[in-house]
Chain A
């Protein structure tokens, strides 16, 4: 019975020792093996590894790309405009030994990257006018600017055993105290545009209306001319008919006779008319009968 208990205890201790002798490195990890605080080995690949228990300790660092969101801060552009810049950094440890020696922890690394990135962003923005960033040109141009910042940050972080994968500005905005002025300007711009629309509309409308009036009057006036012509044609026809009808001297004479009688009738219709006859005229002879 005692034997069994002793065996169990020994087995248990062996198990503990065994467990302390092995460690697992995950795919997204580096492991630094330290013997009495001195780095004796690093493991870059995932797997199960042996270490000497009690004397060796293992520090794990991330191998994956880390995201660090830098707090928003003010920068001043070349043309002395204050802008709020909010950026992020993607970074990863490439040399865990150097990283451990120079920085030691990811928390500390973030602090360094924060300072480094902010500095280079500030410097870069100080060389650019506001409208070199905010403009109507190719959106990819900003990525080129970020690329230049990245290059500098990358170089700066190299000595920490860190590779900076990317630096990008995710917000580039006006400070809040400038917003009111922008709103006022936006409103005035809109009012101007609205006025232009109204003026344009009325201008176009009056062009159409004037054109319509011109066409209308032209059509009517053309029609009048044509109508007068037609009426004149009628008159000409009338004349032609009449002229054709009295084409012999006899007819003409008879016509003149009829017309003169008609004229007489017309001129002597109504009251208070006076006729003076010569005494030799046929009518006078009849009247006087002598």
Chain B
């Protein structure tokens, strides 16, 4: 192409210093913008209301912030360590809950020996809270593992001083309290920023099926023994009213007999009084009449002998014959 040719059109340039300057300018501006954006993007952080954030400046703790949006120095000069201080965290001892909700036992953790040399399987469920974010982050290697092992140790202290019956039945609450107290004591000395919230016995069982059956048999025996006592008590409930009823019957009957005897006396007396009234009007006549009336009633069917003895001789006359005759 001829540079000197003049045909009114602009010559085509492969390098335009004005354009190249513009591009450089835009690259420069772009770099600055990206740089600023980067600064902005790493200059703030948010903290949720469950958390606090520990801010470190070149490794050193300089601030602790609560929920909200906060500024920080960019490029990793200040770092943020969020700690969930509101949440209640859990530790499972003796078992583990799987993703699907099923439970797998961990016998090494649950199997222990009681104070009276019985082996028992006891599962514990522990809840704890983070009470000091800075200590939680920096004063120990792994606060959760420390707490878990301390709990295991103190649980065995308590179970190893308890009667097996208490472990398996009604001593659980006291055991939980005792374990909690011991853990609280030791945790204070550890000072690792966590505090125990609750500790519960999730489950306590005899170790094998055979042993479990033996423990069950004791329960059955207890029930049987109670049943025997209850039966005796219900026998008592049944017999005492029965005794009262029978006694009452005897007394009532006696009262009746007494009264009827008295009435009999009254009747007899009344009858006598009536007869006597007649009698005193004419004693001899009434007597004779009564006498013959009696004879009348008794004589039929009687063999009658009359003693006509004079001195030594006794004659007895049978009057049967003429009595018979008299009847005809």
Contact = CB atoms under 8 A, between A and B. Distances in A.
A250 B207 CA distance: 103
Nearest to A213: B239
Contact of B59 (A24, A62, A258): A24
Nearest to A174: B113
Given A197-B221, A212-B239, A278 B262 contact: no
Contact of A65 (B190, B280, B295, B316): B190
A63 to B, nearest CB: 8
**Residue of B153, B154, B158, B295 with most chain A CB atoms under a 10 A cut-off:** B153
B153 A140 contact: no
B301 interface: yes
A190 B215 contact: yes
Contact of B161 (A136, A174, A182, A231): A136
A188 to B, nearest CB: 8
A142 B160 contact: yes
Interface stretch (B8-16, B64-72, B141-149): B141-149
A67 B152 contact: no
Interface stretch (B35-43, B96-104, B195-203, B244-252): B244-252
Interface residues of A, number: 115
Interface stretch (B25-33, B45-53, B263-271): B263-271
B262 A241 contact: yes
A64 B279 CA distance: 134
A140 B119 CA distance: 20
Contacts of B266: 241
A191 B119 contact: no
Interface in B275-298: 275-276, 279-280, 283, 287, 290-291, 294-295, 297-298
Nearest to A133: B160
Contacts of A244: 269
Nearest to B273: A245
B117 A134 contact: yes
Interface stretch (A33-41, A43-51, A115-123, A154-162): A43-51
B254 A276 contact: no
A197 B295 CA distance: 83
A242 B268 CA distance: 8
A284 interface: yes
Contacts of A18: none
A53 interface: no
Contacts of A165: 190
A137 B243 contact: no
A25 B59 contact: yes
Contacts of B139: 28, 64-65
A220 B243 contact: yes
A101 interface: no
B229 A139 contact: no
A244 B257 CA distance: 21
Interface in B91-140: 108, 111-113, 115-119, 134, 137-140
Given A26-B59, A27-B56, A269-B298, A233 B258 contact: yes
B59 A277 contact: no
A274 interface: yes
Interface string B189-213: 1101000000000000011101100
Interface residues of B, number: 114
Contact of A264 (B112, B145, B264, B298): B298
B264 A279 contact: no
A269 B229 CA distance: 64
Given A171-B112, A205-B231, A258-B290, A46 B261 contact: no
A10 interface: no
Interface in B308-328: 308-309, 316, 319
Q: By DSSP majority rule, is chain A's interface helix, strand, loop, or mixed?
A: helix
B272 interface: yes
A276 B226 contact: no
Contact of A287 (B235, B244, B306): B306
Contacts of B111: 173
Contacts of A273: 301-303
A226 B254 contact: yes
Interface in A81-119: 88, 90
Contact of A197 (B190, B218, B272, B305): B218
Which of B137, B244, B294: most chain A Cβ within 10 A?
B294
A73 interface: no
B192 A65 contact: yes
B222 interface: yes
A143 B161 CA distance: 12
Given A258-B275, A275-B304, A187 B211 contact: yes
A256 to B, nearest CB: 11
Contacts of A146: 153
Nearest to B192: A65
A233 B260 CA distance: 12
Contact of A242 (B158, B258, B265): B265
B225 A200 contact: yes
A255 interface: yes
Given A197-B225, A245-B268, 18 more contacts: A45-B60, A66-B140, A139-B182, A166-B186, A171-B156, A186-B206, A190-B211, A190-B214, A202-B225, A204-B229, A212-B240, A216-B239, A220-B247, A223-B248, A231-B257, A237-B258, A245-B272, A278-B307
